[in-house]
Amino acid sequence: MIYGFRLTRSTPVLLVWLSLQSLIGTAQTISPQRLTAQSSDSPYQLKKGLEISLLGAGVATYGASILLNQSVDPLTPDQVNALNREEINAFDRGATKHWDPSIARVSDLTLYTNVALPVLLTLGTKPMRKDIKTVGVMYLETLLLANGVESTVKALSQRPRPFVFNPDVPMENKLTRDARQSFFSGHATTAFATAVFTSEVFRHYFPDSKLKAVVWVGTLGLASATCVMRYESGRHYQSDLLVGAAFGSLVGWGVPKLHEVKNRSDLGRRLDIQPWSSGSATGLYARLRLH
Task: Determine the pLDDT at residue 19.
Answer: 44
Residues 104-149 have pLDDT tens digits of 999 999 999 999 999 999 999 999 999 999 999 999 999 999 999 9
Task: Determine the pLDDT at residue 176.
Answer: 96
Say whether 22 sits in a helix, a strand or coil: helix
Long-range contact pairs involving 65-71 (C-beta distance under 8 Å, separation at least 24):
65/12, 65/148, 65/151, 65/152, 65/154, 65/155, 66/12, 66/13, 68/152, 68/155, 68/156, 69/151, 69/154, 69/155, 69/177, 71/155
Model's pTM, two decimal places? Answer: 0.79
* Spatial contact of 123 and 129, defined as CB atoms under 8 Å apart: yes
Beta strand pairing call for 271-277 and 282-288: antiparallel
Mean pLDDT is lowest, of 130-144, 220-234, 236-250, 275-289, for 275-289
Residues 230-244 have pLDDT tens digits of 999 999 999 999 999
Residues 60-82 have pLDDT tens digits of 998 999 999 999 999 999 999 99
Most confident option among 36-40, 253-257, 263-267? 253-257
